[in-house]
Structure 1
Amino acid sequence: MIFVALAFPIDLPGRDAYYSHFFEAIHSLPSNQTSFEYPPLVERDMDRQMMYEAFERKIKAHGFPGKSCLLRTICEISQHSIEEPNGVLGEIIHIIFT
C-alpha cells in the first residue's frame, strides 16, 4: 500500500485553511514467480517516422485529418526558433517536430 497526502495552505485572513488531496494505491503482489507476468519490452529505437505515424493515428482517431494536421504542426513549429523562451516542454515539442 502507498499513501500520499498533499496539503497546500490557502491565504485567508484570520483563518487557517488548507487545500489537500489524499492518494491511496493498493497493488496485489504476486504470490510466486510463476504468477508474475513481465510486460512486453518496448523498442528502444523509436525513430521519427514511427512517432509521426503514432501521432497521425491518434489525430485520426479523434476525427481530424491526421496527415495534414501533422504536416501543419511541423510547419508552424519550424517557423519558431528554439532560442525563443518556451520552457522545457516547448523545447521538447520543438525538438520532436523539427
Structure 2
Amino acid sequence: MERNGNDIKVLSRRKRYVAFPEGSSFSCAGCMTVGVIGQPAPATAPGTFTFGLNWGIAYELPNNTETALFYRRKKHGKPLAQRRSRRELYEKLEIIMDNMGYSGRQCVLKTLCETAQRIVPHGGNMIEEIFRTMFTLPMAKVLPSEPLEHTLYDSAHRLGLLLDSCENFKCPLSLVDLAKGYYNAPAPNVDTFRSPWALFSSSFG
C-alpha cells in the first residue's frame, strides 16, 4: 500500500516461488541404535556391543528451470508438480522400508492416511509441520494421463479424510507415531546398570 498525500494506492505483484541453484538437494539421515550387551557400558566393562540401523534420503530441490517448466503448464499446473515431487520421495522411502523387511508401499499409504487424520496444519512442532507437508497431497483431481502411483497415493490420502481408521493398510509401523515421538524411550539408569562382564568378574572375585 502506498500513500501519496490523501490518495491511497494498493500495490500488487505476481506470486513468487522459491528456487534453488541447480543440483541442490535436501538430505535427511537417521540412525537407530539398540544396545545388545552392556549398553551403556560402566567403567569396569571392556566395551559395548550395539546394533545400529542407518538410513538416508536425498531429495532434489526445485531449481529455476524446473519451476518455470512446472508452473507455466496451464493444463496440469501446480498439483501435478506437487504429486510428482512427492512420488519421488515416497519411492525412496518404500525402498528403505522394503530393505527393513516391511512392505514399503503399504507403509507409505498408511502414512498418507494417518497424516490426514492426526496431524493438523500448524498444530504441532516444526518436525510435525515438515512431516505434514511431505505427506499431504493436493486435493485437485488426478488426471488420467498421470502415473498409476499418483492415483494410489491420492486415494490413501483421501481415505484418511473420510475414514476413522487406517488399519486396513498392512504395515505394523506408524511413521506418524515416529514423527510425534511416541517411540522415544527414556535413557536407562546408568547407576543401577551392571553388565554381564561385571557380574562374571564379581562371581570370581
TM-score by length of 1: 0.51
Deviation at 1:95, TM superposition (A): 0.5
> Quick one: distance in 2 between partners of 1:82 and 1:43?
24
Q: 1:55 matched to which residue of 2?
A: 93
Deviation at 1:82, TM superposition (A): 1.3
Separation in 2, partners of 1:88, 1:53: 24
Letter in 2 for 1:75: C
User: After the TM superposition, which parts of structure 1 deviate over 2 Å for at least 4 consecutive aligned residues?
Assistant: 42-46
Which residue is 1:39 aligned to?
none
Report Cα offsets for 1:32-86 as digits up to 9, x if no partner. Answer: xxxxxxxxxx8434811100100111111100011011100110011132142x2
Unaligned runs of 5+ in 1: 1-41
Counterpart CA distance in 2 for 1:43 and 1:70 is 19
The yes-or-no answer on 1:76 pairing with 2:93 is: no
> Structure 1 residue 96 and structure 2 residue 113: aligned?
no
TM-score by length of 2: 0.25
Identify the structure with the greater strand proportion: 1
Asked which structure has the greater CA Rg, the reply is: 2
One-letter amino acid of the counterpart of residue 117, structure 2? Q
- Count of residues in correspondence between the two structures: 56
Q: Secondary structure at the match of 1:79?
A: helix
Alignment of 1:1-98 (within 5 A): 43-45=60-62, 47-80=85-118, 81-84=120-123, 86-98=124-136
Identify which of structures 1 and 2 has the higher relative contact order when contacts are C-alpha pairs closer than 8 Å and 6+ apart: 2
Label 1:43 to 1:73 Cα distance change in 2 as closer, same or farther (>3 A). closer
Q: What is the root-mean-square deviation of aligned Cα atoms in Å?
A: 1.9
